[in-house]
Structure formats: structure tokens, C-alpha cells
Amino acid sequence: VAAIVFEGLGLILTAARILFRLRIGRFWWEDAWAVITLLCGLLWIISQWIYLYGSTSIIASWITSLAFTCIVTAVRMSILLSITRVVQRTPFLRKVTYACAAFFAACWIILMVEKVWWCASSSKDWQRVVASNSKPFCQIQNMTSVFQFSTDAASVTILVVLPLRMLWKVKLPRRQRRMILSIFATSVVIAIGALFHTLGQVLDNNDVMVAGLHVEIALALIVCNLLVVVTCAYRFLRDNTLGTEDTSEDTSVIDDDFTRPARLPRSTVPNLTTIELPTGQDTSSYRT
């Protein structure tokens, strides 16, 4: 129950993050992946309750297994795109981002195919395998566990090393460096959850593995939204601090976001054209 509470908190933060980005008109690709995370997270929690307290445990076990892979991949994509939002987009960075995104997508497809193929085998022996909670549970094969561990290690390494590489011998504004360090800290926390989950797979202990699943999901849902949530809190505190001060000044310099608004407001000032007339020319013909 405690794990589901933290997972619910992560979903609330995800929903708040999406609404905030929509309200300020800066909904970007990283937020689209956050929407996927939110939908898969809802499926995860619902399937968990059905699996533990319902009668359709087999269907819930399917949804739980597949939703977990989707959540982890969507969170990684969101963090990866957060890095490209904060750092100036150069051709090299764009290529690196595309390569990492393609790697994450390929790992996601392979894992989904392996899980579906293994759990949908003709024998369906797993439907008679009872976990510690007296429910059927599809235990993936060792080869899939090794592949999942390898992809987790590679993905976490990418998300940890990439922000550090961007800070290495690169002069960036202090605000920008802080945001990149925040992304680095986020990746480290997610790595801890992934290692806890992997420990259960290595020890072949269902209790530790299930606990690791919940820890990894809860940490991923919470920390992947902290960067945007903190930005929202900063904007709120800044607006309250300014109070009645003149807000007509351009705030783009002190803006804490690095995306342009999706729709720029139209200017209400009419376009005027100035015509210079020759000196001494009669202007009576121009009167209307």
C-alpha cells in the first residue's frame, strides 16, 4: 500500500507538470512522453489493485508486466529530451539525442516482444506458477533478465554521463548548470531504483523483485517531474515576491525555462508606414 501511495504521488506530480506546461504554452516533446508515463502509470496502479484483490489476475499480470516497461522507457525519453531543452541545441547534440532515443526505443521494442512471446507461449505454464501472494505470475526467462539488466545499465549510464559531459569544460550560465546538475541527480536516483529491481532478478527472489519494481516505478514517476515542478514553484514564488512591481520589463533574461512559447501573442500595435515628402511640396493633394 505504501508503494502505491508513492506511485500515486508520482502520478499527481506528472499531471501537475503537464497542466503547468500547457498553461504557460510551453508543452514540448518531453511533456508528451510525460503524458505517456501518466497513462501507463494509471494502468499500472489499476492492474496492481486488480492483481492483488480481483479475480482476473492473469490479465492484470499481463498489464503490469508490459506497463512497467512502458513507464521506464517513457521516463527515460522525457529525461533525455529535458537535457536537449536545457542545453543549446547543436548539430552534434541533436545527433547524440537521436541516437540515444533510437537506442531506448529499440530496447523497449525488444523487451516488449520478448515478454509477449514468452508469456504467450502455447504451454502457458506460468498461469499455474504461484507467486508469494498466491497469484499467477509470469516469470521472464533468464536470457530476458540479462538483456533487461544490460539495457538498464546502458540507459542509466547514458542519462548519468550525458549531463556530466555537457558540463565538462563548457562555460554555461549558473542557472543552466544548476538545471543540468538537477537532471544528473534525477538520473542517479532512477539508477538506484533500477539496481534494487535488478537485485531481485539476480537473487531470483520474487519478493525482492516485486518490491524493486514498486521502488523503481515510484522513484521514476516522482523524480522525472521534479525539474518542472521546481520551475513552477520558482515562478510562483517569484511572482509573489515581485508583487506590485512593474512587470512590463522583458523577463526573458531571468526566465528559468529554455523553451520558446508554443504560440507567441500577436502584437496589438498597428503597423504604420512613414512616407517622406519632398521639401516644399504641396500636401493638399494628400488630404482626404
Report residue 105 CA to chain centroid gap. Answer: 14
Distance of alpha carbon 22 from alpha carbon 216, whole angstroms: 27
Helix axes 2-23, 29-53, angle to 10 degrees: 150
pLDDT band at 87 (very low <50, low <70, confident <90, very high): low
Average pLDDT score over the chain: 74
The vertex-147 CA angle with 141 and 153, nearest 5°, equals: 135
CATH of domain 2-239: 1.20.1070.10
Domain boundaries of the chain, sorted by first residue:
2-239
Q: What one-character DSSP code corresponds to residue 264?
A: P
| Per-residue pLDDT, 132 | 54
8 Å CB contact between 52 and 3: no
Rg (CA), the chain: 25
Helix axes 91-119, 142-167, angle to 10 degrees: 170
pLDDT digits (tens, 9 = 90+) for 163-196: 777 766 566 666 666 766 777 777 777 777 777 7
Give the range with max mean pLDDT: 153-167, 199-213, 271-285.
153-167
| Per-residue pLDDT, 37 | 93
pLDDT band at 97 (very low <50, low <70, confident <90, very high): confident
Q: Which of 52, 62, 161, 155 is CA-nearest to residue 108?
A: 155
**For residues 84-115, b (16+ Cβ closer than 10 Å) or e, as one string?**
bbbbeeeeeeeebbeebbebbeebbeebeebb
On the question of pLDDT at 38 being above 80, the answer is: yes
Give the range with max mean pLDDT: 34-38, 126-130, 150-154, 259-263.
34-38
pLDDT band at 81 (very low <50, low <70, confident <90, very high): confident
